[in-house]
Amino acid sequence: MRPRWLFTVGCLCVLLAQGQTRKVDTTTFVVLGDGLAAGMGDFGLHEVWQRGSFGAVAAQLLGTIFPTPLMQAPGVGTPVGWPVQPARIPGRWQTGVRVEPVTLFVFNLSVPGMRIRDAVSRKPLPPLVQPDDPFQTSLNLILGFPAMALGAGKPLWSQLDYAVAMNPTLAVVALGYTEACEAAVAGDAALLPSPGDARSLYDLILTALAANYSEQVVLTVPNPFDTAYFQPQPDGSYLAAPALAYLASGEAVPEGARVSAEAAERIRDGVTAINREIAAAAAARNAVVVDLQELFAAWRRDGITAGTERLTAAYLGGIYNYSGFYPGLTAHAAIANRIVAEINRVYGRNFAAADLSRIVPTDPAARYRPTSAAERLR
């Protein structure tokens, strides 16, 4: 009698454990974000980098589809910290803008330059191309195309509205990096959203996504001073990447190209405060949190090892592309691995990780090498 009793208790324990295990359905996987999540390239968003964005790599690892609004090179948008170029569509070397075939819907909803508030409020707006507003043009081409080309009466959604309309089973939210980078470039912490505003907006975004019973993965905001755009100086200040050429040639560094140690500390503290609120909003909705602030800091400290290659966070060190703020393909795969690892941990799954050693040979950022003069600036 006793063995049967023990067997029954064992079965009940297994069933109870299964009932407590969270489930994740990867069928409809969407990403809301800015240039980081979009896969921003050296100086524009285009298919070479988009195909290797962390969302695209994560989708491959999760075994799901991920239609992406692929752009022809040289792409659209301008990375933060570099001169903004007017929107010219089609541009040089382009036969169009979107790579054909153009899908009716996309799941990577990320737009370069997108801010947290924009994700809730900014919608596609005619005309399709607005030369004096490159961000609106990028938003139109990503969230409003082909709907805007099909005539009046088609729905034009904000990033959040678009995500909800896709009825996602799994959503990644990676917003706030645009504001952090803009504040860092200007050396002005006042350009950051307040922690309270960030919390309110994330509450709104996550609540809307949860209404469709989607599981959510929330990424914290990286510290821009951990990226290759800023090179630390002996006095604690940071020198912006565009100014490296002046140092290499012996010229005076332009005004505004250096961020003081005090300003950098205020911005760093502001980003950390925002991340606390983002994590709190995620915890309130039982969302998974992936700490990109910690990951980017680890890259600055230790670099990335991929097979026999070691990439660093120095400018042209291999982790970041020419823009300095945005990761190369190997680093995007490392972010995807971190996301998938958290999904495995929280949901008890066993999705495989990307092999970084196989990505390095195809990663343009990993092949960048500085001149000897720039090398001495590390």
- Considering only residues 29 and 368, tell me which one the structure prediction assigns the higher pLDDT: 29
pLDDT tens digit string along 127-141? 888 888 999 999 999
Count of domains observed in the chain? 1
Contact 174, 32 (CB under 8 A): yes
Helices (H) and strands (E) in the chain, counts: 16, 9
pTM of the model: 0.90
Answer whether residue 375 is part of any domain.
no
Answer whether residue 10 is part of any domain.
no
**Residue 150, domain extent:** 23-228+263-368
Answer whether residue 239 is part of any domain.
no
pLDDT at 239 over 50: yes
Order of strands, edge to edge, in the sheet holding 238-240?
230-232, 238-240, 258-259
Helices 292-302 and 329-347 pack at an angle, to 10 degrees, of 130
Answer whether residue 4 is part of any domain.
no
What is the model's pLDDT at position 194? 98
Answer whether residue 272 is part of any domain.
yes
What is the model's pLDDT at position 251? 76
CA 339, 345, 348, 350 torsion: positive or negative?
A: positive
pLDDT at 64 over 60: yes
Q: Distance between CA 90 and CA 98 in Å, rounded?
A: 10
What is the model's pLDDT at position 87? 58
pLDDT tens digit string along 261-282? 999 999 999 999 999 999 999 9
Nearest to 311 by CA among 377, 228, 234: 228
pLDDT tens digit string along 183-211? 999 999 999 999 999 999 999 999 999 99
CA 197-200-204 angle, 5° bins: 140
pLDDT tens digit string along 65-109? 999 999 998 888 888 887 777 756 665 555 567 788 888 899 999
Answer whether residue 12 is part of any domain.
no
Kindly state the percentage of the chain with pLDDT values over 70. 88
What is the model's pLDDT at position 333? 99
Question: Taking residues 136-163, what's their average pLDDT?
Answer: 90
Answer whether residue 238 is part of any domain.
no
Q: Distance between CA 320 and CA 282 in Å, rounded?
A: 28
CATH number, residue 199:
3.40.50.1110
Nearest to 173 by CA among 54, 21, 68: 54
Answer whether residue 334 is part of any domain.
yes
What is the model's pLDDT at position 16? 38
Q: Which residues contact 310 (CB under 8 A, 6 or more apart)?
A: 303, 304
pLDDT grade for 288, boundaries at 50, 70 and 90: very high
